[in-house]
Structure 1
Amino acid sequence: MKKLISILLVFLSLTTVAQNKKLEAANKVNGKTVLFESGTRVKITTLDRKKFVGDLAVKDAETITVNGNDVALSNIGSIKNYTKGGRTAKNILYGVGAGLIVGSGVAGAAKSGSAFALFMGGTATAITGALVNNKHKTLVYRNYIFKVVE
């Protein structure tokens, strides 16, 4: 019984301590690195202009997989962290901003004094929407070297 428990403990510890493979993008100029772990949602554009959005998985040292599509490291044109929540907030802010700007046009046509306030609020909301999802930069192959690390 002790052997069975110890073997089970060894297998569990191997799976929890095992190193995961990651995709590393190293800047060619300053050497700063960005790591993409397996399971991270990314948007990849290949050199032949195919686009893939989904969860990243490292297949081997030269190939990664995005939603079942194999991409060679030498074929990566650009890669970007592509979170779902940030895009939703961005689209909501764009929609609200557009609605306020249209509302300012209606209020202006009705000669209401609130047209300027609606226009400024709509513009500020649209600008905020544009800035929401800009924390993840697109890493382009001209400036970065891509490799798999453990």
Structure 2
Amino acid sequence: MDAVEVMPSTVTEAVLQAAGEAAEHLVDLDDVDAYLAARVEQVAALPYNDAKVAGRYAPITTLLGRLEARRQLLPLVAAYREAKALRDSLDFGDQARLAAELARQVPQAAVEERGRSRVVLLDEFQDTSHAQARHAARALR
């Protein structure tokens, strides 16, 4: 974890946030790693990353460090997921992911939910996760 240059409490927050976001966006950690690796490669290939001008473009170096740090946190995210599974524990992201999976895998669940209410009002839509939006879309079909 040589790219991680923050305090343990900040690492903990980052792991919890990454775990929640991956669950709520229904993405696999391997896909997250591949995405981050591609961004590292993309940024590293920028002409501004030339050693002759690196001092003038310190933000690129900073960005590369942050991307690498996020990649290095992914094994901790996986370990956190495993620890929750061993303890039969869920957090909010897990609940959102499981609800979306249930709606996808059990069409009857969406049918029954539609029958429970004529209208559903959603407040704070900007705070709706990808998993919640997919679950809602399935329920409305």
TM-score (norm 2): 0.30
Question: Based on CA coordinates, which of the two structures has the bigger radius of gyration?
Answer: 1
- Structure holding more strand per residue: 1
- Structure holding more helix per residue: 2
With a CA cutoff of 8 Å and minimum separation of 6, indicate the structure with the bigger relative contact order.
2
TM-score (norm 1): 0.28
